[in-house]
């Protein structure tokens, strides 16, 4: 009987040692195109590691940051998840995210494959807590048909603030003669400070001084902020997406309620999937004293509570 029990325990240990580890991957839902691309990567990883490690993608709908923070507090967070650079340090400071330096060295992740700024973005007190999933910049999307209708040349790298304003004025029109504007030159987010930042830098300003005090009250910063808000408040050539019955900039642009938006590469899949007939082009943001845009980045991180940190990092390395 003792031999039978011993044999059963040994068999259980052997089976357990070869059981497949499931790695939960969390993130906010995105466009169908992005979801499909991620699922293809997950399927490829699962095929390569069949029987050993399996990624299961579990999107987190709703207020992602709030839900993720609650899951981290409860110890139920996924083994890998997205963290936006805007609030990454907030989580790093709390000690709920696993430093990755040991795994980076052990599994030979070559940090030279990443721009230094993307590595630094997810460092805290000299340690790396996340690896950049991707990054994006803002560009100017423009509707070719609308430009053609008013006889405007398409935007290019020579465009200045003055060019943007003049074009927006010409593109803001009452197309049916009822005395009301039907098409606007631009759609903007009136309360999104991250969209104002490029204009501050284009004007030669900055956000903070070297001593980390605010620089937003300095003349150049004020100039950039004023131009952005004047497009809506003073010149009346820009509109908020919700004011034209749209959920966001891409929706307003796709519905051809506006001729231009400043957005990122996430627009491409959205327009292709939802508004395939819209003919558009993409150009650099217009410049003032200098050229500037905004970089957005998101990382993959692992929680300290994960029971499968090694396997999670193997999956993370594959995904990046």
Q: What domains does the chain contain, in order, with CATH numbers?
A: 20-134+298-319 (3.40.190.10), 139-293 (3.40.190.10)
259 DSSP assignment = E
Say if residue 113's pLDDT is above 90.
Answer: yes
pLDDT digits (tens, 9 = 90+) for 71-86: 999 999 999 999 999 8
Q: How does pLDDT run across 236-291, given as a tens digit for each residue?
A: 999 999 999 999 999 999 999 999 999 999 899 899 989 999 999 999 999 999 99
Distance of CA 92 to the CA centre of its chain: 19
Cα gap 303→318, rounded to integer Å: 18
Using CB atoms within 10 Å of the CB of residue 26, give its burial: 0 to 12 exposed, 13 to 18 middle, 19+ buried: buried
**Which two structure tokens, joined as six digits, stand for 144?**
């070719």
Find the angle CA(283)-CA(169)-CA(182) to the nearest 5 degrees.
Answer: 100
Mean pLDDT of 159-171: 98
Q: Which residues contact 80 (CB under 8 A, 6 or more apart)?
A: 23, 24, 25, 26, 55, 300, 301, 302, 312, 315, 316, 319
Q: What pTM value is reported for the model?
A: 0.74
Return the pLDDT at 3: 56
The span from the CA of 134 to the CA of 114, in Å, is 10
- Residue 5's pLDDT band (boundaries 50, 70, 90)? low
Taking alpha carbons only, the member of 85, 87, 97 closest to residue 122 is: 85
pLDDT digits (tens, 9 = 90+) for 166-208: 999 999 999 888 999 999 999 999 888 989 999 999 999 999 8
**Residue among 257, 260, 254 nearest 276 (CA):** 254
Distances (CA, A) of 63 to 66, 67, 96, 284: 6, 6, 19, 31
Cα(278)–Cα(267) distance, rounded to whole angstroms? 12
State yes or no: pLDDT of 15 exceeds 60: no
């Amino acid at each position: 009987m003792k031999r039978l029990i011993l044999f059963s325990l040994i068999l259980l240990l052997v089976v357990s040692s070869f059981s497949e580890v499931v790695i939960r991957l969390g993130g906010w839902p995105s466009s169908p195109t992005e979801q499909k691309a991620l699922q293809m990567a997950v399927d490829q990883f699962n095929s390569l590691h069949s029987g050993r490690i399996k990624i299961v993608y579990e999107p987190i709908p709703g207020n992602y940051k709030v839900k993720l923070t609650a899951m981290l507090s409860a110890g139920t967070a996924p083994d890998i998840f997205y963290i936006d650079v805007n609030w990454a340090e907030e989580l790093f400071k709390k000690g709920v995210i696993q430093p990755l330096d040991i795994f980076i060295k052990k599994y030979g992740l070559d940090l030279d494959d990443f721009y230094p700024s993307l590595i630094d973005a997810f460092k805290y007190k000299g340690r790396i807590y996340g690896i950049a999933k991707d990054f994006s910049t803002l560009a100017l999307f423009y509707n070719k048909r609308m430009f053609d209708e008013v006889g405007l040349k398409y935007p290019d790298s020579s465009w200045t603030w003055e060019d943007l304003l003049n074009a927006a004025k010409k593109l803001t029109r009452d197309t049916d003669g009822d005395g009301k504007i039907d098409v606007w030159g631009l759609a903007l987010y009136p309360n999104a400070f991250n969209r104002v930042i490029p204009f501050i830098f284009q004007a030669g300003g900055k956000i903070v001084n070297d001593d980390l005090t605010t620089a937003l009250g300095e003349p150049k910063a004020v100039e950039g902020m004023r131009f952005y808000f004047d497009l809506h408040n003073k010149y009346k050539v820009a509109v908020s997406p919700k004011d034209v019955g749209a959920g966001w900039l891409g929706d307003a642009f796709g519905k051809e309620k506006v001729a231009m938006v400043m957005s990122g590469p996430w627009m491409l899949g959205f327009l292709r999937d939802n508004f395939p007939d819209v003919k558009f082009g993409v150009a650099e943001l217009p410049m003032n004293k200098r050229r500037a845009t905004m970089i957005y980045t998101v990382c993959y991180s692992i929680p300290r509570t994960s029971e499968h940190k090694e396997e999670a990092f193997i999956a993370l390395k594959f995904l990046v």
